[in-house]
Amino acid sequence: MIRINENYTKLKASYLFSDIAKRVTAFQEANPEKDVIKLGIGDVTRALPQACIDAFHKAVDDMADEANFHGYGPEQGYAFLREAIAENDFQSRGADIAPDEIFVSDGAKCDTGNIQEIFAGDARIAIPDPVYPVYLDTNVMAGRTGLSKDGRYEGVVYLDCKEENGFIPALPEQPVDLIYLCFPNNPTGTTITKEQLKAWVDYARENRAIILYDAAYEAFVTDENIPRSIYEVEGAKEVAIEFRSFSKTAGFTGTRCAFTVVPKELMAWDEEGSAHSVHALWNRRHCTKFNGVSYPVQKAAAAVYSEEGKAQVKELVTYYLNNAAIIRKEMSALGYQLVGGDNSPYIWINGKTDSWEFFDLLLNKAGVVCTPGAGFGSCGNGFIRISAFNSLENVEKAMARIREALK
């Protein structure tokens, strides 16, 4: 008889955001006259930059002309996009990343979930708590963990992120193989200094570990003293893989385009101690399981790096950061301790009660959807995440409702 991968049975019955959707749906069915403002899932609401739209249209026209038609493209991405990424996102900031170290994909969520496939099944993983669920769940699916007990999986090294440590985890007290880091952080919105990040790079070099660095929100960093890439740290190319996305940068959540950087210096070892190129392994996996992002989408993504695109993306980021500033100001005025929202689109708020209770309070009394921190890990209980991804009008309306509900 056909058998299932029993590691899937270790997972919680449903995904965090599907749980939220079910509660919101139930509320709307019971209260059809009430409109709901969603500040939970990090989905953008504003249109794509005009430069991207123009490039998109032109690329679609190319597909209607046999002389300019494109079929299968390079699995790793077209050179025009990889070169633009390397120059603008890395080389301009002193990070020596070459175009052929960049792999274009349809989402950072996919890549952060898929990257673990190329590493040993018994690799020891270190994962922050609270954390974006995909990092943990995909390792559970792969069989790297035991069962969940008291909200945590056996076999995982958890890196606690609490108010006491400024939501920046301490280095593991034991050797680990794979380390997941995300800055600006999802869900807490915190950032990391170059000195703090260097400590992680040094640890990885000393322990022959690899850092899986999620930088999907780097465009929201406005402080020049905060690194936007791990490759701004000396030695990081030897120990780190970086994930980036156009989703929040330029509103590509529904358009789907991202990229992963795998430096050629990066090595991992087999049982005999022989070194292998991680770049080559990921390339092999990419070529086997992926046929590339569509030509029009890649043309639209490349337009992000045009002069017009850069200005339009900056305007988008500024718009959402202004929303974040309003949320910070209003929640602080209500007496809540919080972090994030200044170099990040997420605000992490101590709700002074159980996360799901606070979620239900805001939904039922204010018609506002947040994300309960408990869904990101045991250290998230008591907190909620509010996203700045909505219109200014809706953010202001949501804050007015929350003021009324919490007074």
The partner residues of 153 in beta bridges, in order of sequence, read 148
The partner residues of 385 in beta bridges, in order of sequence, read 348, 371
Q: Please tell me the distance from the alpha carbon of residue 13 to that of residue 174, in angstroms, as a whole number.
A: 31
Confidence of residue 187 (pLDDT cuts 50, 70, 90): very high
Task: Report the pLDDT value the prediction gives residue 13, as an integer from 0 to 100.
Answer: 63
pLDDT in tens, 138-166: 999 999 999 999 889 999 999 999 999 99
Does residue 14 register a pLDDT over 70?
Answer: no
Least confident of 31-45, 271-285, 311-325: 31-45
Exposure on the CB side of residue 349, measured as CA atoms within 13 A:
28
C-alpha closest to that of 11 among 133, 132, 122, 159: 133
Q: Is the pTM of this model over 0.85?
A: yes
Does residue 63 register a pLDDT over 90?
Answer: yes
Residue 322 is inside which H or E element, if any? helix 307-333
Task: Report the pLDDT value the prediction gives residue 319, as an integer from 0 to 100.
Answer: 98
Contact present, 263 and 244 (Cβ < 8 Å): no
Confidence of residue 42 (pLDDT cuts 50, 70, 90): confident
C-alpha closest to that of 184 among 248, 240, 113, 233: 248
Task: Report the pLDDT value the prediction gives residue 15, as an integer from 0 to 100.
Answer: 72
Mean pLDDT of 32-37: 93
Task: Report the pLDDT value the prediction gives residue 366, as an integer from 0 to 100.
Answer: 96
φ, ψ of residue 182 to 5 degrees: the values are -140, 120
Task: Report the pLDDT value the prediction gives residue 260, as an integer from 0 to 100.
Answer: 98
Q: What is the 3-state secondary structure (H, E, C) of 144-171?
A: CCCCEECCEECCCEEEECCHHHCCCCCC
Task: Report the pLDDT value the prediction gives residue 151, as an integer from 0 to 100.
Answer: 87
Task: Report the pLDDT value the prediction gives residue 18, as an integer from 0 to 100.
Answer: 82
pLDDT in tens, 287-336: 999 999 999 999 999 999 999 999 999 999 999 999 999 999 999 999 99
Confidence of residue 41 (pLDDT cuts 50, 70, 90): confident
Mean of pLDDT over the chain: 96
Q: Please tell me the distance from the alpha carbon of residue 18 to that of residue 101, in angstroms, as a whole number.
A: 35
